[in-house]
Structures are given as structure tokens and as C-alpha cells.
Amino acid sequence: MALGILLGRIYPDLGAALDRVQVAGVSVPIAVGLLWMMYPVLAKVRYEIIGKHARDTRLLGTSLVLNWVVGPLLMLGLAWAFLPDMPEYRNGLVLIGLARCIAMVLIWNSLACGSGELAAVLVALNSVFQILTYSLLGWLFLTVIPGWFGAESAVLNVTMGEIARSVLIFLGVPLVAGFLTRTLLVRAKGLAWYDGTFMPKFGPTALLGLLYTIVLMFAMQGNRILELPVDVLRISIPLLVYFALMFGFAFWFARRLGFNYESTASLSFTAAGNNFELAIAVAVATFGIGSGEALAAVVGPLIEVPALVGLVYASLWARRRFFSSELPERAGGAA
């Protein structure tokens, strides 16, 4: 993050240069980072057992409620509670709350030792719902609901086709690549070589993709953060509260339902994460690059990254605290 801001200060035109060429509304260099960090994670997924999670209606139903009922309503409530006098920033937070995560969540889930197979299923499920409902929910949350309270309404200009294109690029490409990599290499070299030799070397490159993406994000947007520190702080507070409450509630709720740690972690991170690339693209396309909505959408991932890294540590602590019986035994028999 510091390196990105430094690069942005040294090269003021870097952000504009990086954003000059886009794919699905996202800067191509950022898109490369997103695909890079997702590909190794999806190559690790055991696709042969993914059907077990796809048939678990209780898990899928819980995820849908958390993502498409609890999450958007919580963000809407926090946006109004913390930014009642700033409708542009409030609209930007709402766009973030409606965009459920289909990218970075795979990294957070992997770092927290969640189920890669379940995460892949939940990401695919959220992608379908995102295509079908984002425009409708955007109209409801930005146009209809504000009118109930006599507030200024906004018009959301995004189509299902545009959302589908984003999903196909940022989920479909790395998903197909990961599936083919695993299938072809296991067939050629065997499962033991793939899991024991190839993935330990290839898998960690996802973190390089994550770091690369973070540096570029801060390089492109760091100046805006430094120019409006008070505004950024006001936007950051409801976001931090959202991530903490959403993850904490999802983790508690999943544990109450009796799910194991891997499922609990996957449910919690998919519930807490957001699809920032979609939120930014929609905010810029609808309200303009210099709008308050665009600034709020940009602040979203810049706050989400350190917040979710912190929640990875919180999740691993909760694993030791509440799921100790599921941990592998160490040498000598001590768990």
C-alpha cells in the first residue's frame, strides 16, 4: 500500500496511463492482477468432489441469505447512519454492498484454510445472482428506497449483459484455466505429483498477484486519498464496521448451524467480501470518474484489503479457539 502511494506521488500520471486501456470497465493492468491471483487458487480446487458442496442446500441457502439479504441491507443501513449528509458517498457504499465478491475472496479463504471447493461453488452461485439481481437491487436501493425517506434518488445505468461480461472475464477465465491445469496435469503426471510438487510451487504465486494488484490500486488512487483525507475517513468508518459485523455475524451464525471450520470460513469470507471491480466500473460508468460515488467505490477495496487480511488472522484464531478438535494432531499426539 505504501509502495503504491509512493509510486503514485512520484509518477502523477501513472494512474491515468494504467487506466487508459480497460476490459469490462477495469484497468487492464488491474485485470491482469485479478486473473493472476485467482488462477492458482482455482487450480488448487478439487473439482472431483465439488458436487458434494453443490448439493448441500443448507450451506447454499445460508450463503444466499447472508449475501443477498443481510449484506446489502447492512451496508445500506450503515451508509445512511454514517453518511446522512453525503448522498454521493452513500450511493457508492450501496454499490459496494450490492456487489458480492467473486475474486479476492478466494485468496482470503485460502489464507484462512477454508474449503476451496465450497468457495468455488459459492463464488459461482453469487455470480449467477449478481447477473440476475444487481440491476434490480441497484434500482431498488438507489432510486426507490431513498424516495421513501424524502431523500435524493439516483438512477443506476447498468445492464445484465455488462455484469455478465465482467463475471465471465474475472471468474470464467481463471476458472476454466484452473480446471484445465488440474485435469491435464493430473492426467499426465499423477495426483501425488500435482499436489505434492507442482501446487506447492505454483500456488503461492497467487500472493504475488495479490500484492501486485494492491500496489497498482494504491498507485492509481493514492493521490485522491491524500487529497481528501477527511472524506476518505468518513467513507472508511462504515466500511470497517461493515466488514467486522458481516464477518462476525456470518462466522457466529455458521457455527451455530453446526458447520465445520472449513465451511464456516468459506461462508464468512464470501459474505464479507465485495466485488470492487464491478462496483468501481458501475460507479464510473453511471456517475463519472470524478464523482463521489466513484471515490467511495475506490476507497472500498483499499479498506477491504487490510480489513480482510486482519479477518484472516481472526479466523485462524477462532479456528484454534472453537474448532480445535478439527485441527490435525502434531507429532507426539498433541492437537
Decide: residue 159, CB within 10 A, 0-12 exposed, 13-18 middle, 19+ buried. exposed
Q: Above 60 in pLDDT, residue 333?
A: no
Please state, in angstroms and rounded to a whole number, the distance separating the CA atoms of residues 315 and 312: 5
Asked if 216 and 293 count as a contact pair (C-beta separation under 8 A), the reply is no
Measured in whole angstroms, the distance separating CA 172 from the mean position of its chain's CA atoms is: 15
Task: For residues 322-335, give the mean pLDDT.
Answer: 62
Q: How far apart are CA 86 and CA 80, in angstroms?
A: 9
Q: What is the distance of C-alpha 184 from the center of its chain?
A: 29
Is residue 334 over pLDDT 50?
Answer: no
Q: Is the pLDDT of residue 149 over 80?
A: no
CATH of region 2-315: 1.20.1530.20
User: What whole-number distance in Å separates Cα of residue 34 and Cα of residue 170?
Assistant: 7
β-pairing verdict for 26-27 and 22-23: antiparallel
CA 213 to chain centre: 13
* Predicted pLDDT of residue 106: 82
Half-sphere exposure of 174 (CA within 13 A, CB side): 28
Stretch 107-133: mean pLDDT: 86
- Which residues 6+ apart lie within 8 Å of 275 measured at CB? 99, 100, 101, 102, 103, 130
Higher confidence at residue 310 or residue 84? 310
pLDDT at 174: 84
Closest CA to 114 of 254, 278, 257: 254
- Residue 253 pLDDT greater than 90, yes or no: yes
Q: Please tell me the predicted confidence (pLDDT) of residue 219.
A: 81
For residue 214, is pLDDT > 90? no
Taking each helix axis from N to C end, the angle separating 28-44 and 276-287, rounded to the nearest 10 degrees, works out to: 150
- What's the rounded mean pLDDT across residues 206-226? 79
Given a cut of 80, is residue 223 above it in pLDDT? no
Give the per-residue SS3 of 275-309: CHHHHHHHHHHHHCCCCHHHHHHHHHHHHHHHHHH
Cell, residue 83: 453518511
The whole model's pTM is what?
0.79
* High-pLDDT (> 90) share of the chain, %: 30
Per-residue pLDDT band for 229 (boundaries 50, 70, 90) equals confident
pLDDT tens digits along 287-302: 766 678 878 887 887 8
CB 270 within 8 A of CB 122: yes
Single-letter code of the amino acid located at 321? R
Q: What is the CA radius of gyration of the chain?
A: 20
8 A C-beta contact, residue 170 and residue 64: no
Which residues, in sequence order, are bridge partners of residue 138?
none
C-alpha cell at position 73:
441491507
The mean-pLDDT minimum among 88-92, 124-128, 180-184 falls in 124-128
Full 3-state SS string of 83-101: CCCCHHHHHHHHHHHHCEC
Domain ranges of the chain: 2-315
- Residue 331 pLDDT class (50, 70, 90 cuts): very low
Mean pLDDT of 283-289: 70
